[in-house]
Structure 1
Amino acid sequence: MLKNLSQRIGIFLLYLFSLLPFWVMYAVADLLYPLLYYVFHYRRRVVYQNLKNSFPEKSDREIHEIQRKFYRHLCDLIVETIKSVSISEKQIRRRVILTNPEVITNYHAQGRSLVAIGGHYCNWEWAGQNFPFYTENKFLIVYKPLTSAIFDRFFQQVRARFGTVPVAMNKAMRELVKLRNEQPAIALLGDQTPSREELDYFTDFLNQKTPVFLGVEKIARATNSVVLYYDMKKVKRGYYTYTLYTLFEDPKQTKEYEITKAHVKFLENIINREPQYWLWSHRRWKFKPEHVKYKR
């Protein structure tokens, strides 16, 4: 009971904070940066090791420079995610722009469903809120349910503010089957980390053997949806663009793991371009191939 009350109070405080103007929120982000980086050392070892393993060719000086830039972006990301709670449609349209919306229009005109893949890069939450503005069809976004039911419901409501339909990972296929005649679009983050029980496929990613969910591939092949990757860029503080690239138009004709390898490689190229915008604080490599009883 007390835990539920504290969570509800926390949500109320998040809402109040989200009402602050952007300049105030970014001032808070500027104050948060030295606290996370220099005072509390928030996951600094994790971030440093992830960067060092991913870019063995870079010097320590280069690694630390990327690390500092990452923490500055992370602080922006934190306040921007909170701002999602109350941001207006006008603001989200102005601050996030899809450069080639005709890709969606053309495929839907052909009666095709879409699977859009992204990663924990730039501001994926704002991209999810912005995408429905470019399609009249249903737009679903796959998410991992939070352990707190109260916070899970809250963030579902936030993501659904502008028409996005949040769908739990284990219900995504069932929901797509129900909507198969409506040519929906569905977005997934292709760099989620599987749990130990879900480890069944590893591929090369950023110079390391990396476990990858096969959900993207399974959904695309089962529904024969066009596979797109959305490449997001940070134009300046609080402003982003994203561009859609077609990976596969006929997924049913692909070989096993072909889609998975392609979207992982696409993300790798994006990260190599501007590494500071990926979520390096995530323990992405906590599982190794030896943790899988039957390796492929």
Structure 2
Amino acid sequence: MMRSDSNLSAIRWHAGVLNNGVVFGATYYGVTHLPRACSYAIGHVGTWLAYRLMQDGTQAVVDNLRAIRPQAGERELRYLALLTYRSYARDTIDFIRSLEMDRARLAPMMASFDAAALDDLLAQGRGVLLVGGHFGNWELGGVALRLLHGYALTVIGKAEASPIVGAFRRRMRDSFGIETLEIGQMLETALRIRGLLSANRIVAMLLDRHIGRDCVEVTFFGRSTAFLRTPAMIGYLSGAPLLPAFMIRRPDGRFDGLFGEPIRVDASQSTEKAVHAATQTFARQLEHHIRERPHLWYQFYPYWRT
């Protein structure tokens, strides 16, 4: 089941409202010049306004949450929607704050971050495909991997709707030596990823939004959903494992860096069967975390509209 062109427009529209150059630039300036408590307070008020004024976006979040919590009433769903806006703001603020930190200042933000699973996979010499979703603070996860553990990391993603935001994010990652590779032609992108994995590098991708025809259908919260196909396909061709990764905020404001069960793409099966099975396995792991903390899943558009 493919998303329609109208739904892709909804993705761009809502992303543009929350993630345009003016908003992102103002947020970056405020976070880097104001005390943390002040940034949080502004974010608290700003997200309440977004929740009230972005009626289409808020209704989309409520509808998405209804698939996750089908037994919840309207009041609970709307509370979770407001919490989603506020969690997104806090995660953005904390990511920007982390860019001004050295290792000694960043380490106390991490309640736990055991990278043993990642080390074990890298020791096998095939590289690692670090896979996640638009859940939790994935950008902070990249900073923590680089600054606290010294890993070489390449982030793969589509170009931002706003070139200004894209330039901001690239500069932020560049400041920590995190490479950014924007998805272009599928074959060209796949070849570059293969080269990185051959050098035993870590390549990070988010799977819960597909790009055009680069998709594979999985069951996600009981619904047919298109996830990104490339990671499992690369794993099939290269033998590199997929390692689910999540950066989750605790109530006290610290973070847990969590790794899921490694996913091996079975090269003895047909391509389509192996790619589907691996992506479905990831979808189940992501679904588990979203069920526990639905307000940390950041989809501000009608996710299942077709």
Check the 8 A contact 2:132/2:245 in 1, yes or no: yes
Structure-2 change in CA distance of 1:79 and 1:181 (3 Å): closer
State how far apart, in whole Å, the 2-side matches of 1:166 and 1:199 are: 19
**Counterpart in the other structure of 1:168:** 182
Structure with the greater relative contact order (CA < 8 A, sep ≥ 6): 1 or 2? 2
Q: Which moved more, 1:111-120 or 1:62-71?
A: 62-71
Matches within 5 A, 1:180-219: 180-195=197-212, 198=213, 201-219=216-234
Check the 8 A contact 2:154/2:179 in 1, yes or no: yes
State how far apart, in whole Å, the 2-side matches of 1:89 and 1:185 are: 20
State how far apart, in whole Å, the 2-side matches of 1:11 and 1:280 are: 17
Partner of residue 31 from structure 2, selected from 15, 18, 31: 18
Alignment length (residue pairs): 279
State how far apart, in whole Å, the 2-side matches of 1:263 and 1:229 are: 7
CA offsets 1:238-261 (integer angstroms, 9 cap, x no match): 421111123324643462411111
**Counterpart in the other structure of 2:61:** 47
State how far apart, in whole Å, the 2-side matches of 1:137 and 1:251 are: 27
**Unmatched 5+ stretches in structure 2:** 1-19
**Counterpart in the other structure of 1:266:** 285
Check the 8 A contact 1:18/1:85 in 2, yes or no: no
**Counterpart in the other structure of 1:94:** 108
1:232 alignment partner, SS class: strand
Structure-2 change in CA distance of 1:130 and 1:251 (3 Å): farther
Report the CA distance between 1:214 and its aligned residue.
Answer: 0.5
Report the CA distance between 1:10 and its aligned residue.
Answer: 7.5
**Counterpart in the other structure of 1:220:** 235
Structure-2 change in CA distance of 1:232 and 1:14 (3 Å): closer
**Unmatched 5+ stretches in structure 1:** 1-6, 289-296
Check the 8 A contact 1:143/1:168 in 2, yes or no: yes
Mapped pair 1:143 → 2:157: yes
Mapped pair 1:65 → 2:65: no
State how far apart, in whole Å, the 1-side matches of 2:220 and 2:163 are: 33
Structure-2 change in CA distance of 1:249 and 1:200 (3 Å): closer
Structure-2 change in CA distance of 1:180 and 1:52 (3 Å): closer
TM-score scaled to structure 2, two decimals? 0.79
Runs of 4+ in 1 over 6 A off after TM superposition: 7-12
- Which residue identity lines up with residue 44 of structure 1 in the other structure? T
State how far apart, in whole Å, the 2-side matches of 1:205 and 1:109 are: 32
TM-score scaled to structure 1, two decimals? 0.82
